[in-house]
Structure 1
Amino acid sequence: MGNEPVSVAFKLYCLTVMTLVAATYTVALRYTRTVSSDLYFSTTAVCITEVIKLFLSLGMLAKETGSLSRLKTAVVEHVFRSPVELLKLSVPSLVYAVQNNMAFVALSNLDAAVYQVTYQLKIPCTALCTVLMLNRSLSRLQWFSVFMLCGGVTLVQWNPAQSTKVQVQQNPFLGFIAIAVAVLCSGFAGVYFEKVLKSSDTSLWVRNIQMYLSGIVVTLVGVFVSDGAQVLEKGFFYGYTSWVCFVILLASVGGLYTSVVVKYTDNIMKGFSAAAAIVLSTVSSVTLFGLQITATFATGALLVCISIYLYGLPKQDTTKLAKGDADKESRSKLITV
């Protein structure tokens, strides 16, 4: 009983931070991609994010091991002497790099609120990957919520909300394609990483270090393949402002926090967080970007929030109900006898 208040407080803390990071990151990234004439290179931002996440993970591993000597031993053993594990973690690194770059493309062409709602398509994608890759099953209610989610996203995209303060030309179709790619990447990489994480007793922070090291290499290649000539001409940090640095910091903390959430929280909590982030992004977009909310957008966003809640409901509730009915039936038979 004594630990219960601490547990609840920690979960509330996780919920609050996760929601604020998700909503703020989306709105801030949207702002940096639509108000500046000297547009920074998204590939370099993704690369720097991986570097920051690596250093943050090293710090957390140092705290976990308790000394610098143990940290050095852990890094040498699990990184330099484990090329197979590094190669294994390079798969989600590559996929996450694509996902992060697609987020920049999407938010350059879609409003933050539209992006936030449509991005929830990652739920059915993750569900499908979970069934196929981890051999898990979903309840009827979860499948129902998946179809409800798709319906809600369709409404949002059918007659999208419009911004009146955006100064750059946008391509909503390109934005939606970018979100579709990001959703597929998110579903596959998330389930793949979970499978690797739970297939051994290796520390979460060690796995993160392995993934981020691969991520730095992958994203550096991406910088010079996509923007190599322009980066050499204008510089790696061209177009960077304090807002861009803020976005990179949010992406780093958010990415690291996702790993913690996978380990310490549950689906209901993540569902409420996603729904709250949608609401916050919408309210912020009305204020910052002059977003004009349509009836179909509002209806679609509501359906998305409800579907997230339904998807997160624990499956054991139905089994408990069935067990309770069976117990009642058994007691009634005893009484009859």
Structure 2
Amino acid sequence: MANEPVSVLFKLYCLTVMTLVAAAYTVALRYTRTVSSDLYFSTTAVCLTEVIKLFLSIGMLARETGNFSRLRNTIVDQVIRSPKELLKLSVPSVVYAIQNNMAFIGLSNLDAAVYQVTYQLKIPCTALCTVLMLNRSLSRLQWFSVFMLCVGVTLVQWTPAEATKVQVEQNPFIGFMAIAVAVLCSGFAGVYFEKVLKSSDTSLWVRNLQMYLSGIAITLVGVFMNDGPQIMEKGFFFGYTPWVVFVVFLSSVGGLYTSIVVKYTDNIMKGFSAAAAIVLSTVASVTLFGLQITATFAGGTLLVCVSIYLYGLPKQDTSKVDSNCESKQKLITV
């Protein structure tokens, strides 16, 4: 499966869908947090996202196992009767729950384009976690691209673009701090989950089930701890509109679809997708929220897009270079 040939059209399809989902999620979430005074509870949206992901994962596992009997046995043996594994996967569940809630806070206080660019700081954070937790190394070009990305994000935040069509009060500092927390959570949880996946032959969908079950329990605790009295008074679905349902749907599908993109495409395409999503978010913000683009914002965004592309370039195979040098040295000595 990993080496299965994939057509160019399918790769373009994956790129297009991933880009549209990322851009649409950011813009739609920003819209739902700024156009109405009757805001829905973000904690309930995060909880519903975990529930939908759970059912989608069960559907994918059913397809993988082939019949209901195998599906039931797999869930009983590897999920229900594996409390240690559930506990192990509760770690990224907690971290992802924090990350998702920080996304709502960030987009309540920052424009979608500013958020999309700044959120790319997850790349250096993930790189650092990869080096520390998985003992991998990065090339000089990748470290250079990380530095370039940090400069680009600094420019974006230095004199941020302003949106004029916003109906709620916002605090850019709180928004940036929320993104900082989300970035740290994204880097750690992603690398931790990858480490758990590669430490055994357990199916990806079984791991997802273990993580989402923990996630539902954790987010439910968050719902009642943060908004319990208000939810009891106004209802779990207070403030929900078709746009809010759309945001929950995008968040659910986007998380699962990313794993498909990673499986069948490569890092270069992921880089193009992230850069394209930034461009689309910026265009949408200009149209929907009256975003005023500054020179430093444009320059910073360009640096971020270029850095994403450079980071995704494949490493040079130094072993071949070394072997060629050794063979030339032998010829010279002969």
Query: TM class by shorter-chain length?
Result: over 0.9
SS at match of 1:168: coil
Query: Counterpart in 2 of 1:326?
Result: 325
Q: Which runs of 5+ in 2 are unaligned?
A: none
Pair 1:137-2:147 in alignment:
no
Query: Counterpart in 2 of 1:68?
Result: 68
* Superposition pairs of residues 205-216 of structure 1, within 5 angstroms: 205-216=205-216
Is 190-199 or 310-319 further displaced after alignment? Answer: 310-319
Query: Counterpart in 1 of 2:27?
Result: 27
Q: Which runs of 5+ in 1 are unaligned?
A: none
1:264-319: CA deviation from partner (whole Å, max 9, x where unpaired): 33221211111110001001111111110000000000000111111111113565
Number of positions where the alignment pairs a residue of Structure 1 with one of Structure 2: 332
Q: CA deviation at 1:193?
A: 0.3
Query: Counterpart in 2 of 1:238?
Result: 238
1:76-101: CA deviation from partner (whole Å, max 9, x where unpaired): 01111100000000000000000000
* Superposition pairs of residues 1-337 of structure 1, within 5 angstroms: 6-316=6-316, 320=320, 322-323=321-322, 326=325, 329=328, 333=332
Q: Partners of 1:24 and 1:115 in 2: how far apart? A: 13
Give the TM-score, by structure 2 length: 0.95
Q: Partners of 1:4 and 1:83 in 2: how far apart? A: 35
In 2 relative to 1, CA 326–284 (structure 1 residues): closer, same or farther, beyond 3 Å?
Answer: same
Q: Partners of 1:323 and 1:273 in 2: how far apart? A: 34
In 2 relative to 1, CA 319–164 (structure 1 residues): closer, same or farther, beyond 3 Å?
Answer: farther
Output the amino acid matched with 1:298: A
1:27-49: CA deviation from partner (whole Å, max 9, x where unpaired): 00000000012100000000000
In 2 relative to 1, CA 231–155 (structure 1 residues): closer, same or farther, beyond 3 Å?
Answer: same
In 2 relative to 1, CA 331–282 (structure 1 residues): closer, same or farther, beyond 3 Å?
Answer: farther
Output the amino acid matched with 2:163: S
Q: Partners of 1:263 and 1:127 in 2: how far apart? A: 19
CA contact 2:134–2:195 (8 Å) conserved in 1: yes
SS at match of 2:169: coil
CA contact 2:6–2:264 (8 Å) conserved in 1: no
User: Identity, % of aligned pairs?
Assistant: 82
Q: CA deviation at 1:11?
A: 2.0
Q: Partners of 1:264 and 1:93 in 2: how far apart? A: 25
CA contact 2:125–2:184 (8 Å) conserved in 1: yes
Q: CA deviation at 1:325?
A: 6.2
Q: Partners of 2:127 and 2:198 in 1: how far apart? A: 17
SS at match of 2:7: helix
Output the amino acid matched with 2:143: W
SS at match of 1:227: helix
In 2 relative to 1, CA 48–279 (structure 1 residues): closer, same or farther, beyond 3 Å?
Answer: same
**RMSD over equivalenced CA pairs, Å:** 1.8
Give the TM-score, by structure 1 length: 0.94
Q: Partners of 2:127 and 2:174 in 1: how far apart? A: 25
Q: Partners of 1:5 and 1:198 in 2: how far apart? A: 23
